[in-house]
Amino acid sequence: EKIKEQIIAGDFYEMNYCLEFFAEDIIIDAVKTFISLNDKAQAPFSSFFKLGDKYLLCASPERFLKKEGAKLISQPIKGTIRKGESEEENTLLQQQLKNDIKEQAENVMIVDLVRNDLAHCSVPGSVQVEELFGIYGFNTVNQMISTVASTARSDVHFTDIIKCTFPMGSMTGAPKVMVMQTIEQYEDFKRGLYSGSVGYITPEGDFDFNVVIRGILYNEADKYLSVPVGGAITYDSGAEKEYEEVLLKAKA
């Protein structure tokens, strides 16, 4: 309700608000747990990352940014609905998601933000929305994904492309800086690597990065396991429905 009050006041128009589910005094086999999660989710941007005694087991369905030659591609996700029990039910649910005005509004706000981010490092006039409101089925959920592409300027180093687009709009909101400051006030945990990015960079300066969502953050030394999950809050958001969506995303 407080977030919605700020939206009505005009401070911002969409904020990604996240919660943390956690367990203490936990011992897991990180590799086996990742394999199990990966089998359940079968997500295209899954990643296993280990840094000392800290692990990320990530089943991400979302691409943050890809660079291939001069082409840049970003694919923000905004819009989630459960997977149907049958093919017929799933087709109906996908249609429901595709035609959901609230989900479309969430999605297009972030598409606009991504277009603006890419414009800073792209050839003028080259930013295009290649697909708006695409509906994609994953093993546990259906998602609304849009694809924004552009041509990188030849005078911009690949590290600057990452700098001017990070953090991704789908995990912040719009306008980006204002919502990032507000997120700090409302969330009662530190995101850390969650909602960041894992990927690779080639020797030629091409890259592909995911959005760190649908993952487990595990600190082996502290025996602390964290599963952060979130969603976009807009003027039309209802608290119960948003919480149900959070549980759906955390299910795997």
pLDDT of residue 171 exceeding 90, the answer is yes
- State mean pLDDT over 196-202: 97
Under 8 Å between Cβ of 84 and 71: no
Q: What is the pLDDT of residues 1-12, one digit of tens each?
A: 999 999 999 999
Interatomic CA distance for residues 230 and 106, integer angstroms:
14
Give the CA count within 13 Å in the CB-facing half-sphere of 167: 22
> Is pTM beyond 0.85 here?
yes
pLDDT of residue 221 exceeding 90, the answer is yes
Q: Tell me whether residue 126 is exposed, middle or buried, using C-beta atoms within 10 angstroms of its C-beta: 0 to 12, 13 to 18, 19 or more.
A: middle
Predicted confidence at residue 216, as pLDDT, reads 98
Predicted confidence at residue 110, as pLDDT, reads 94
- Write a three-state SS string for the chain: CHHHHHHHCCCCCEEEEEEEEEECCCCCCHHHHHHHHHHHHCCCEEEEEEECCEEEEEEECCEEEEEECCEEEEECEEEEEECCCCHHHHHHHHHHHHCCHHHHHHHHHHHHHHHHHHHCCECCCCCEEEEEEEEEECCCEEEEEEEEEEEECCCCCHHHHHHHHCCCHHHCEECHHHHHHHHHHHCCCCCCCCCCCCEEECCCCCEEEECCCCEEEEECCCCEEEEEEEEEECCCCCHHHHHHHHHHHHCC
Predicted confidence at residue 9, as pLDDT, reads 96
Residues annotated catalytic, as ranges: 62, 78
Interatomic CA distance for residues 182 and 143, integer angstroms:
26
Under 8 Å between Cβ of 83 and 96: no
Interatomic CA distance for residues 201 and 131, integer angstroms:
25
Q: Which amino acid is at 231?
A: G
Q: What is the pLDDT of residues 91-124, one digit of tens each?
A: 999 999 999 998 999 999 999 999 999 999 999 9
Q: What is the pLDDT of residues 37-92, one digit of tens each?
A: 999 999 999 999 999 999 999 999 999 999 999 999 999 999 999 999 999 999 99
Predicted confidence at residue 140, as pLDDT, reads 87
